Amino acid sequence: MRCLFNRGPYARQIASRELIELHRHESRRQDGSKAIVVYYGYAPGLWVLTLHWFEDATGAIGASGRKDPKYLYVQGDNVRYHLHAGNSPADFVRREPERRFRSIRLRLLCGTWRRLKCRLFGPIEAHRRLRELRLRVEETPMGGA
């Protein structure tokens, strides 16, 4: 989903105010920083994107320095992408595949590979799933006879 967000027009649309802020939720943390979740859309009622990030007391974005997409609607393909729900170990691995490795080095290597793969090839998992979905729809018999 990060790859779709980074390669898509969303950051430009937010900057040009084509995507408008539908709702903002901020929660203060004990260290003075705050967690922010913002919902964006083209018009009220058309929710397209949810971003989450942490800001320190100075207003700088913490951790990676980037806003993290939690929900993304690709309008041309009519597909919604979202994080997997749940708190089981399997759910954590589905959200962050590098968690399957215990070694910090392997986790970093897996994360580096995912970022490099996105830069070189784009969001290939999303395109593969979309193609499979289209094939299933085309194979479904119409009329039920």
Residue 3 CB: number of other CB atoms within 10 A?
19
* 115-144 mean pLDDT: 66
Q: How high is the pLDDT of residue 133?
A: 64
Q: What is the mean pLDDT of residues 102-111?
A: 84
For the chain, percent of residues with pLDDT exceeding 70: 72
Quote the pTM value: 0.64
Inform me whether the pLDDT recorded for 135 exceeds 70.
no
User: Using CA atoms, how far apart are residues 103 and 112, in angstroms rounded to an integer?
Assistant: 14
41 vs 49: CA distance, rounded Å: 7
Report domain extents, the chain. Answer: 2-139
